Amino acid sequence: MTVGGDSTAHGGASHDASPAGAAADDPAAAARVSYTVRDGIADVRLDRPDKRNALDPAMFTGLVQVGERLRADPAVRVVVLSGNGRSFCAGLDVAAFEAMTTGEHTRPDEARSTDGPARSLGQQAAHVWTELAVPVIAALHGHAYGGGLQIALGADIRLAAPDTRLSVMEIAWALVPDMTGTQVLPELVGRDVAMELTLTGRVVEAAEAARLGLVTRTEDDPLAAAHALAGEIAEQSPDAVRDAKYLVNLAGRTGLAEGFAAEQAAIGRLIGSPNQVEAVRAKQSSRPPTFTDPA
């Protein structure tokens, strides 16, 4: 696909944007998370607005199945992740906490088959966005509490409305973050700040969240800003964008020798590749480049 192409998929159903041979989605989960793909940008929406997009099993499954579907779609160049209604995501459904008091929910999620480090369904709902080869931009508003915040942490960039409120809420329920948050948060805000936020569960306003590094920056209209940024990224070479995400995410998670070698491997793949040649030719001709998506 070239930039300017248009393919769509709604509710996770199999349409033009879905990879060939993709498995059918769970209908209940598809109703919780919808998506469209246009001009290389996947617009993913948590879609339980009457419950402030609270997380229940169908929402977890919907996030994973949409993430996995997008990961297999070579036409996707950028993902924008947001929530319909008053909030991005208010965290775990209150009904789940009540079930914990009655013994109906007393064990963590069963381990699920996966090649990645995230084994539970909740972890995969947050980590699947990190595993996408393309950048993910989260547009936050209203509440991003508990599991909702952890899903946002799976994005590469977080844009928040000025009135957004964020919290590592689990301690208030005598729990700990279990959707990758304990491992991801210290990298963003530092170990001491992560410790303080996790041990207190205090609510952080958007302006402070930006200062701490919990969000990238504030925007009056984060969804519009996310799409504008996504459009800018989608116009770049998809090969270079994918390698850039991989390399930046590798930083601090491996030794310098491996990181430097990964840089050299990436630049070796890119120099002289069709999209890199197109970038050079377009610059020389003062015209917009026309890039080709990976097969």
Q: Which residues are tagged catalytic?
A: 170
Which two structure tokens, joined as six digits, stand for 111? Answer: 């381990």
Which two structure tokens, joined as six digits, stand for 159? Answer: 């844009």
Closest CA to 18 of 78, 77, 74, 81: 74
Please state, in angstroms and rounded to a whole number, the distance separating the CA atoms of residues 134 and 141. 23
Q: Where does the chain have alpha helices with state H?
A: 27-32, 57-71, 94-102, 121-131, 147-153, 181-189, 191-200, 206-212, 222-234, 238-250, 256-270, 274-285
Q: What is the DSSP letter of 92?
A: B
Closest CA to 80 of 241, 224, 250, 246: 224
Which two structure tokens, joined as six digits, stand for 32? Answer: 């919780």
Which two structure tokens, joined as six digits, stand for 101? Answer: 């008091």
Please state, in angstroms and rounded to a whole number, the distance separating the CA atoms of residues 75 and 133. 12
For residues 117 and 127, the answer to whether their CB atoms sit within 8 Å is yes
Closest CA to 229 of 137, 130, 131: 137
Closest CA to 216 of 138, 144, 134: 138
Name the helix (H) or strand (E) containing 43.
Answer: strand 41-46
